Amino acid sequence: MKGIFKKLMIGTAAITLVAGLAACSDSEKASGDTKSNYPTKPIEIVVPAGAGGDTDLNTRIMAKAMEKEIGKPLVVTNVTGAGGTAGTQKVNDAKADGYTVLAFHNSIILNKIYGLVDYTYSDMKVAGVGVLDQSNTFLVSKNSEFKTIDELVDYAKANPKKVSVATEVGSMTYMQILQFEEQTGVEFNIVDVGGASDKITALLGGRVDIVPTSLGLVKGYLESGDFVPLGVMAEERLEDAPDIKTFKEQGIDLVVDKVFLWAFPKDTPDDVVATFTEAMSKAVENETYQNEIKKSWLSPVYLNPEEASKKLAEIEAEYEELYKLTEGQ
């Protein structure tokens, strides 16, 4: 009897072991399936800005190119309000399953610096960057007395706070103005007129002298001759705008990169982010995508999560220094 009982015990243990191994195998397979099957439904891309602006346009171009790579629709949702914080908060509060993604730019850094929110890009999982805007400029109207950066600086130095510059306090263009003042020693009359369209309206109406913006946002006005750029804040002249001098050529070492990043809630699984990132890198290589992006004088540049975070950290350090200069003012 003892021999039979012993054999039964050994047999039962063996069956249990086999069942356990099978269960582990099924679990691993299920985990693998989760990774390989993402995404299984449309992905919402949250743009914390209104329709028609550069953030919205660039996001839609990228989303269209990425759909072919990731195999599911990317649905762009515009969430406006509070300088972009309404949109970033929506993503931060979303379920971290890979189906809600943020598409934004440097302002996510500024919102933290100015105390509008208590988080920034480093509190999320950055998926990467697919485009850089190096076409940042100072615009004047066609009737402006300023034809060059030198003329602007000379007049502004002789007439402190007489040159009016449109911006939205706390925005990227505001930082550009501060950087320009810091480098040249001029003092502008900084006028908070609102967003991109408000700045354009102010310049058209002759209410301001200068508008900092991106070339792509005013392409029609440049082609009509209504607006004239005094230069671009880039290391080198833009390939598609070779006649526009850089600020550096004109003695102002001011280089600005507007970085369009995509990011997930911080607890999103790494394998999900990796799948999305791979699709992004392939989309940037797509010739159709590159041609679309270049129409607005933008650079189709892919930065992986590590490269993107490093670039954003450099920008963050610059902004923090500028903010310190204005604290208490």
What is the 3-class SS of the chain, one letter each residue?
CHHHHHHHHHHHHHHHHHHHHHHHHHHHHHHHHHHHHCCCCCEEEEECCCCCCHHHHHHHHHHHHHHHHHCCCEEEEECCCHHHHHHHHHHHHCCCCCCEEEEECCHHHHHHHCCCCCCCHHHCEEEEEEEEECCEEEEEECCCCCCCHHHHHHHHHHCCCCCEEEECCCCHHHHHHHHHHHHHCCCCEEEECCCHHHHHHHHHCCCCCEEEEEHHHHHHHHHHCCEEEEEECCCCCECCECCCCECHHHCCCCCCCEEEEEEECCCCCHHHHHHHHHHHHHHHHCHHHHHHHHCCCCECCCECHHHHHHHHHHHHHHHHHHHHHHCCC
Q: What is the pLDDT of residues 143-163, one digit of tens each?
A: 999 999 999 999 999 999 999
Vertex 289, ends 78 and 240: CA angle to 5°?
Answer: 105
CB atoms under 10 Å from CB of 257, counted, come to 20
Kindly list the distances between the CA atom of residue 132 and the CA atoms of 236, 284, 304, in Å, as whole numbers in the listed order. Answer: 14, 12, 13
Cα radius of gyration (the chain): 26
Given a contact cutoff of 8 angstroms between Cβ atoms, the answer to whether 55 and 259 are in contact is: no
More confident residue, 31 or 181: 181
Q: Which two tokens stand for residue 290?
A: 């590159």
By C-alpha distance, which of 158, 215, 157, 159 is closest to 185? 157
Residues 199-218 have a mean pLDDT of 94
Predicted TM-score of the model (pTM): 0.82
* pLDDT score of 19: 45
By C-alpha distance, which of 216, 153, 204, 223 is closest to 183? 153
Q: Which two tokens stand for residue 322?
A: 């500028």
Q: Which residues of 74-89 are buried (b: 16+ CB within 10 A; e: fewer)?
A: bebebbeeebbbebbb
Compute the Cα dihedral for 189, 194, 196, 198 and give only its sign. negative
17-21, 156-160, 180-184, 270-274: lowest mean pLDDT where? Answer: 17-21
Confidence of residue 222 (pLDDT cuts 50, 70, 90): very high
Confidence of residue 328 (pLDDT cuts 50, 70, 90): very low
Share of the chain above pLDDT 90, in %: 77
More confident residue, 16 or 54: 54
Residue 9 has pLDDT above 60, yes or no: no
Q: Which value, to the nearest 10 degrees, does the dihedral of the CA atoms of residues 24, 27, 32, 36 take?
A: 160
- Could you give all domains of the chain from N- to C-terminal order, each with its CATH number? 43-133+258-321 (3.40.190.150), 136-250 (3.40.190.10)
Q: Which residues share a beta bridge with 78?
A: 47
Distance CA 283, CA 289 (A): 7
Residues 322-327 have a mean pLDDT of 81
